[in-house]
Structures are given as C-alpha cells and as structure tokens.
Amino acid sequence: MRPIFISYRREDSEGQAGRLFESLREVFGEQMVFMDVATIEPGADFRRAIETNIDQCGVVLSLIGRTWLTVTGKDGKRRLDNPNDFVRLETSSALKRGVTLIPVLVQGATMPQEADLPDDIKDLAYRNSIELTHARWDSDVQLLINALRGHAGAEKDTTPAAPPAPEKPVETKRRTRLLPIVGALAAVGLTGAVLLKMSGSSQHAPAVEDALASPASVAVDRPAASGVISRVELQRRAHLRGACIKGYVWRQARPGDRICVTPDTQARVYAENRAAADNRSPTGGAYGPNTCKNGFVWREAFQGDDVCVTPDAREQTAQDNSLAVQRIVPMPQ
C-alpha cells in the first residue's frame, strides 16, 4: 500500500487535519499517513521536495475549509495565487502526476468553482469530494477510510510474474481478502476492551471474546510469523506509543506532545500557539519578552511552556496533564 498525504492550510483547517491524521494513522499505521512536507533541508528546492513526496503517495487528501480559497499572505494577496504556495504546489503536483486527489470538505465548506482556481489546479473543481462534519465525525471518517482502502493500493510491480503454483494463488487472494476483516475485528475488540475498562467493568475480557467470536478471530491470534499481528500485540504497541482512546487526540502543544485531549481542546491549543505573540506584553516586564499581558498567564502544558493563555485555559491544561494516563490505550492484562 502506498502512503496517504494530507494537504491543508494551517490558517484554515489545522485542527481538522490533526484529528484526521490521528484517525487514519490508527487504521493504516504510523508510516502510511503524512502531514506537511517535513524536514526539507536548507538550500533544497522545496518545489522538487513537494513533487517527490506527492509522487510517492497513493492518495492526496485536500482539506478544504471555509477560508481555503481566501487566505491571504503578508502582502495582502491571496495565497492561492502565489505559484510557490505550498498548498497550490501539493495540489498541482498530484493533478500533474495522476495521483488520486480527494477534496475533503470541513467546517461546512463547499467545493471551489473552476473560475476561482489558478489554471494549474482548475481540475480540482471536478474531483468528487467527501465531507467531514463535527457531529458525524466517526461515521464520516469511516466512509473516507472505506474509499481509501480502494484508492491507496499497492505500488505497481514491473517485474515479470513467476508462474503460479496450483493452489497458492487462491490461498493468497483469500488471505488478502481476510486481512481487512481481521483488522476490523481487532479494532472492534480493542475498542470494546478500552471502553469497558474505562467504565470500570470487570467483565471486559469475556466481552472482547464475544466480539471476536467468528472464524476470522482465529487468524487474529496467530503467531507474528504468519503475517497477522495478534490483538494483544496491537494493543500493546498502541499503549507504548501513547495512542489515545476513542474520542481523544494528541494535544500537540509542541512537536511530540502526546497528552490526549478532546478535539476541541486540540483546536484551542493550536489557536493559543498562533496567538502567542499577541498575548505577550509588547514592552516586556518581570519575565522579559515572555511576560504576559494583564489577564493572561503561562499555559505550562510542559516545562518551559510560556505561551500566554487565560487562567481558565491553564487550569484546563493542568487537568488534561493529570488525566493523561487514563486517556491512552491500556496495556493488555
């Protein structure tokens, strides 16, 4: 399977992009979903870097919020009209290379019209879109996941195929069809275990076994050598990397911040980071350039976090920190 690339504008849909990133990574794996063109080395041609990243992907998801078309730069001109705008480059690269491009509408946005788009991305207006809504997020994302399973297929293999053995091709195809089913059943079992554990029930183990009581459940518990990871191993890996339980996402107050919070809190944190300079005293003060304006305090999401926020926001941040352990997938017993 080839990776999935999420294209978005920070000023437009950063919160939804982060939430979608977490949702897709839980299904397709950490190495199969990308946001932004990261680690472009100093002196490198970022246009070439974007083209390379897009060329390696099977699908590009273009997140479009209410201001996607109209966001302006420091010069007051529309960002999309700049040939070197990152979002425009990502979109045009996908269209030029024939990479599947799916417009993902968020915040109640509508599809841009051809007349509103630069020449090199006008074809975006004719791509069939999918909508993600706050109220139906889980079901909307599931529809997107179903579509991605078909689009983000394996890379084309140009090597000549060896003559098939009499029975092996049939078994291989059957096993390939079983994998999505096995993965879905494992996810159902894992979600059930987490929800029951969080509710304090002592009967979570039988409930999980009931959820997996089907012929395919045997494949879930096969040794790793069979190519199928067991349910327990999936849960253990999720715990070790701090994966959030259902309904929570990583806060990302800074890179690597894996405190689990609600999506609304994550969006608030992104907004706080963007407004950090505006909430500091322009003349400095007792704490130098990091002195907050009257009515604001340091957030203290982590040691050294001097982003200025309201006292209520800092109190909420402290509460999120204290509840962090309860919001990650538990280690299997």
Calpha distance 269→156 (Å, rounded): 41
Nearest partner of 294 among 279, 283, 307, judged by Cα:
279
Structure tokens given for 45: 């041609």
6 DSSP β-pair partners: 35, 61
| CA 59 and chain centroid, separation | 14
The pLDDT assigned to 177 comes to 46
Instruction: Determine the residue type at 5.
Output: F
Contacts of 190 (CB under 8 A, 6+ apart): 231, 234, 235, 238, 329
The pLDDT assigned to 70 comes to 92
Q: Is there a contact between 90 and 103 (Cβ–Cβ < 8 Å)? A: no
The pLDDT assigned to 34 comes to 82
Nearest partner of 196 among 182, 206, 187, judged by Cα:
206
Instruction: Determine the residue type at 178.
Output: L
Q: Strands, E, within 78-224: which ranges?
A: 100-105, 130-131
Q: Is there a contact between 62 and 69 (Cβ–Cβ < 8 Å)? A: no
Structure tokens given for 257: 């911040």
Q: Is there a contact between 153 and 59 (Cβ–Cβ < 8 Å)? A: no
Looking at the chain, which residues constitute the CATH 3.40.50.10140 domain(s)?
A: 4-151
Q: What is the mean pLDDT of each run of 10 residues along the chain (333 residues)?
A: 86 87 85 68 72 84 93 90 90 91 92 93 92 88 86 44 44 44 47 42 31 30 48 81 87 86 91 90 87 93 91 94 90 85
Nearest partner of 144 among 28, 29, 2, judged by Cα:
28
The pLDDT assigned to 178 comes to 44
Answer left, alpha or beta for residue 247, where phi above 0 means left and psi between -120 and 50 means alpha: left
Q: How would you classify the pairing of strands 249-250 and 260-261?
A: antiparallel
Calpha distance 289→277 (Å, rounded): 10
Calpha distance 244→261 (Å, rounded): 8
The pLDDT assigned to 66 comes to 92
pTM recorded for the entire structure: 0.48
Calpha distance 188→124 (Å, rounded): 36
User: Residue 206 carries which DSSP code?
Assistant: H
CATH, range 4-151: 3.40.50.10140
